[in-house]
Chain A
């Protein structure tokens, strides 16, 4: 067994970090408004609602309308944060996001919590594992999946300042803090968390912690693994991807998402064009999720640090 990073560090759910930073931003940014669809307790927008009741819009269980109202508010100068679970924000309201928000280039930030199978016991209906693909396919929409609490804070601050629509996927479960409180954050720029010469592990979201743990297991085998946090899935930091693929000659992607259309697909497209090296992708292979504990589900769907380390060994073997 590889060492579990989560046992060694502080843990915080990215949705909790979101709730905190929204209130902070609310103090300094009077143009920020927040909308939610009867999930404000879970998405943590409730904190903002309590602090700024006049700038919070409870839209009820009506996600399509919520996205449209957010668009209208944005058209009148507001920076609108619209939150729900990722399955509803990206699924139920996909076409509203595409046709009304993105096509009109409006300043709406869709921050969706409860992404991935780490939602756990609620089961497949509430485990969105397709949003990188569905949202990433929308022209101009930028897609972000931060890896821990501090990075979530930085990402939310960055999108609050940047113009135009964003989709941010956050999680329900507590995740280990793997970035420093004062780490830099630039939209569209990946972060080299660890260097290594034999293989590069590209990850986003909760899978970053898995990649870091996999790195320790690989070190025991004498393999040096670089770990890159690709928090921005779109636009992808193609230069960084090419750079580290060419330095190591073997690459792995890891994500809490179906294999088709997520981080793995995006990295594969970049590598195919700019630096073909053996690539192994860790993700969910064309299946729905199910109820269970997050750790059980990661084991079942092949998303653990061990799976990432195994994928790295395969990639390295293919290079040789």
Chain B
């Protein structure tokens, strides 16, 4: 478990020392606990792809991004776009841990009138940069934000998280082409390569591999593959992606869908269903061990 006070000590607006890995691990564990708890309460949602990004999103929000929970629209903030919008329970969790809204709100996920819609709604939820949920679209918005930064001479960076199944969308590649053309080197993409989508393994549905060659051919700097569940590996990848280059960067993170809950790990059927009470207890007990 992570104590909110521990996180409140961090000034997210500044470039900063990395919090200790031990703290980040507990925060990622908290994200996972929140994800399964929220989904069980809501009775629906997407656990697999939320659990697979827990470390990456924790590293971004706690260690890398400059942002301001007290002023979500702070113009200098680094932007984060969750292009794979169905993983929003993880985003909601980290936003609440950072203090964008009360932790109580998590229990309203997917309820009528909630700020926490089934897929992210930027009009309702503070800290959500832009609405997403229709796959393939978020990355283009991230490019727009990156281009705006350059026009305005601002130094913020734009991070976007995409899925490996999502990478089958043509719009991803339209954007890949345009981002390289415009030398959007302030755009950093994290690819959650968990090898699964809804109808099965990505290699069986319509194989989007090989990722490194494809992105390289589109003119991007390719970082990794890195271990998306190991903070040292994540740091190394993000550090490289943030080092000077004229190209946009993509970090390929190898991950396990459903990571941290043994009966969900690498299981296609846990893409989009909520745990029941008993499964929740099992999941939380798994997470207690970690």
The residues of A with any CB-CB pair to B shorter than 8 Å are: 33, 54-55, 57, 59-60, 62, 64-78, 80, 95-96, 99-100, 103-106
Q: Give bound CA distance, A55 to B150, whole Å.
A: 11
Chain B residue at smallest Cβ distance from A98: B134
Q: Give bound CA distance, A106 to B142, whole Å.
A: 14
| B227 → chain A closest CB, angstroms | 30
Kindly state whether residue B68 has any CB partner on chain A within 8 Å. Answer: no
Is the Cβ of B148 less than 8 Å from the Cβ of A73? yes
Q: Give bound CA distance, A230 to B177, whole Å.
A: 41
What are some 23 contacts across the A-B interface (CB < 8 A)?
A60-B177, A64-B136, A64-B170, A64-B174, A66-B140, A68-B137, A68-B143, A71-B141, A72-B142, A72-B148, A73-B144, A75-B122, A75-B145, A76-B144, A77-B148, A78-B151, A99-B131, A99-B137, A100-B134, A100-B140, A100-B141, A103-B121, A104-B130
Chain B residue at smallest Cβ distance from A93: B171
Is the Cβ of A64 less than 8 Å from the Cβ of B140? yes
Kindly state whether residue B59 has any CB partner on chain A within 8 Å. Answer: no
Task: Digitize B119-136: 1 where CB-to-A-CB distance is under 8 Å, 0 elsewhere.
Answer: 001110000011111101
**Most interface-central of A62, A66, A69, A77 (chain B CB within 10 A):** A69
| A31 → chain B closest CB, angstroms | 10
Assuming the contacts A62-B177, A76-B152, A78-B148, asked whether A68 and B141 have C-beta atoms less than 8 A apart, the reply is yes
Residues of A within 8 A of B181 (CB): 60
| A48 → chain B closest CB, angstroms | 15
Is the Cβ of A62 less than 8 Å from the Cβ of B174? yes
Residues of B within 8 A of A96 (CB): 137, 140, 171
Assuming the contacts A55-B151, A73-B148, asked whether A100 and B137 have C-beta atoms less than 8 A apart, the reply is yes
**Most interface-central of B145, B146, B152 (chain A CB within 10 A):** B145
| B85 → chain A closest CB, angstroms | 9
Task: Select A73's contact among B139, B147, B171, beta carbons within 8 Å.
Answer: B147
Task: Select A104's contact among B75, B122, B145, B151, beta carbons within 8 Å.
Answer: B122
Is the Cβ of A72 less than 8 Å from the Cβ of B177? no
Residues of B within 8 A of A106 (CB): 130
Is the Cβ of A69 less than 8 Å from the Cβ of B131? no
Task: Select A72's contact among B131, B140, B152, beta carbons within 8 Å.
Answer: B140
Is the Cβ of B152 less than 8 Å from the Cβ of A99? no
Is the Cβ of A74 less than 8 Å from the Cβ of B144? yes
Is the Cβ of A70 less than 8 Å from the Cβ of B144? yes
Residues of A within 8 A of B91 (CB): none
Residues of A within 8 A of B139 (CB): 68
Task: Select A75's contact among B133, B134, B144, beta carbons within 8 Å.
Answer: B144
Is the Cβ of A76 less than 8 Å from the Cβ of B149? yes
Main secondary structure of the interface of B (DSSP, over half): helix
Assuming the contacts A72-B148, A73-B145, A76-B144, asked whether A95 and B130 have C-beta atoms less than 8 A apart, the reply is no
Residues of A within 8 A of B129 (CB): 75
Assuming the contacts A71-B140, A100-B130, asked whether A65 and B175 have C-beta atoms less than 8 A apart, the reply is yes
Task: Select B130's contact among A54, A62, A72, beta carbons within 8 Å.
Answer: A72
| A117 → chain B closest CB, angstroms | 29
Q: Give bound CA distance, A75 to B130, whole Å.
A: 8
**Most interface-central of A54, A73, A105, A106 (chain B CB within 10 A):** A73
| B185 → chain A closest CB, angstroms | 16
| A309 → chain B closest CB, angstroms | 46
Kindly state whether residue B178 has any CB partner on chain A within 8 Å. Answer: yes
| B26 → chain A closest CB, angstroms | 33
Chain B residue at smallest Cβ distance from A72: B144
Is the Cβ of B121 less than 8 Å from the Cβ of A69? no
Chain B residue at smallest Cβ distance from A108: B144
Residues of A within 8 A of B146 (CB): 72
| A140 → chain B closest CB, angstroms | 10
Q: Give bound CA distance, A20 to B134, whole Å.
A: 36
Q: Give bound CA distance, A174 to B178, whole Å.
A: 34
Task: Select B151's contact among A54, A65, A71, A100, beta carbons within 8 Å.
Answer: A54
Residues of B within 8 A of A64 (CB): 136-137, 140, 170-171, 174
Q: Give bound CA distance, A60 to B138, whole Å.
A: 19
Residues of A within 8 A of B178 (CB): 59-60, 62, 65, 69
Task: Select A57's contact among B137, B141, B147, beta carbons within 8 Å.
Answer: B147
Q: Give bound CA distance, A17 to B290, whole Å.
A: 65
Is the Cβ of A100 less than 8 Å from the Cβ of B131? yes
Is the Cβ of B137 less than 8 Å from the Cβ of A72? no
- 3 smallest CB-CB distances across A and B, nearest first, come from A72-B144, A68-B140, A76-B148
Q: Give bound CA distance, A103 to B149, whole Å.
A: 23
Residues of A within 8 A of B134 (CB): 95, 99-100
Is the Cβ of B151 less than 8 Å from the Cβ of A33? yes
Assuming the contacts A65-B174, A100-B137, asked whether A71 and B122 have C-beta atoms less than 8 A apart, the reply is no
**Most interface-central of B138, B151, B182 (chain A CB within 10 A):** B151
| B285 → chain A closest CB, angstroms | 38
| B158 → chain A closest CB, angstroms | 8
Q: Give bound CA distance, A100 to B145, whole Å.
A: 13
